[in-house]
Amino acid sequence: MCSMSSPPVVASMRMWVSDDPERDWETILAPALAYQAGVYARMGTDAGHPQPPNIDPHTLRRTGLLIDTPEKMVNMIQPMQASAPLTEICFWSHLPGVSHEAVMAHLERVSKHVLPPFSAREV
């Protein structure tokens, strides 16, 4: 619990918990992130100027994104928790174009397998 003497410490990240990270990267996350980056790139284009080309999902690298199995995700978060007293983890749960079913499966893995080891620490 947070109080005035112990303010919240929040980790904000791109995180996806999967039973098959390679499959989900290729079929779900890379296309969603390519679309999202393309939308942002077009927002920065002045009217009357050429639009940037669409981003090919196959050209994206998995940097800045935690995507792995529940067990490996816990192993990635534990060093963060050890170095800072995390009270919360924030992440985008629903990237653009990702089906409701895929999002719910991801969130279920987070709630059932990733968060419990940290619940005593209130992450």
Domain-located, residue 44: no
pTM (global) more than 0.85: no
What residues make up the domain containing 88?
A: 10-26+62-121
The total domain count for the chain is 1
Q: What is the pLDDT of residues 11-20, one digit of tens each?
A: 898 899 999 9
Q: What is the pLDDT of residues 39-78, one digit of tens each?
A: 988 887 888 888 888 899 999 988 888 999 999 999 999 9
16 three-state secondary structure: strand
**DSSP category for residue 26:** I
Asked if pLDDT for residue 122 goes beyond 50, the answer is: no
Domain-located, residue 50: no
- The Cβ-side half-sphere exposure at 66, using a 13 Å CA radius, reads 24
Domain-located, residue 115: yes
Q: Which residues contact 69 (CB under 8 A, 6 or more apart)?
A: 17, 18, 19, 21
